[in-house]
């Protein structure tokens, strides 16, 4: 049994990329696996093209997401460099964020 409430989930449209018209959403969630347990959670970057879901990246640890033109910018911890993802064609298959390699997938 998972315990989750509306206060534990957010889905925010960060922006739309220029030209290729991808919609980028920042999805954050947390849940309690069982009463008396410890909260778990995470962040995902959801990608839509028009009204069609295209895929997502798992983002761990949490990052700040912004859209600038055709680029999606991920800003992690202060000591990490920003990651710029080029969305001028299609979403990148693999990204490296905060030292973690993430795959683009369903």
| Model pLDDT for residues 38-86, shown as the tens digit of each residue | 877 889 999 999 999 999 999 877 899 999 999 999 997 766 778 999 9
Does position 27 have pLDDT exceeding 90, yes or no? yes
Task: Please give the share of the chain, as a percent, with pLDDT higher than 70.
Answer: 93
What DSSP assignment string belongs to 44-84?
EEEEEETTEEEEEEEESS--EEEEETTEEEEE-STTS--EE
Q: Give the domain extent around 19.
A: 6-103
Examine residue 63 and state whether it is found in any structural domain, yes or no: yes
Q: What's the structural domain count of the chain? A: 1
pLDDT at 79: 65
The average pLDDT across 79-102 equals 88
Examine residue 12 and state whether it is found in any structural domain, yes or no: yes
Examine residue 1 and state whether it is found in any structural domain, yes or no: no
pLDDT at 4: 62
Examine residue 57 and state whether it is found in any structural domain, yes or no: yes
Does position 23 have pLDDT exceeding 70, yes or no? yes
pLDDT at 60: 79
Looking at every residue in the chain, the average pLDDT score rounds to 88
Single pTM value for the model: 0.85
Any idea what DSSP says for residue 104? -
The rounded radius of gyration (Å) of the Cα atoms in the chain is 15
């Amino acid at each position: 049994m998972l315990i989750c409430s509306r206060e534990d989930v957010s889905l925010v449209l960060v922006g739309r990329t220029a030209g290729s018209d991808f919609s980028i959403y920042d999805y954050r969630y947390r849940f309690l696996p069982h009463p008396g347990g410890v909260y778990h959670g995470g962040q995902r970057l959801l990608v839509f093209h028009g009204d069609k879901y295209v895929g997502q990246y798992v983002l761990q640890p949490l990052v700040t997401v912004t859209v600038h033109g055709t680029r999606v910018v991920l800003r992690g911890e202060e000591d990490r460099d920003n990651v710029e993802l080029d969305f001028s064609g299609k979403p990148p298959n693999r990204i490296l964020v905060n030292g973690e390699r993430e795959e683009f997938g369903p």
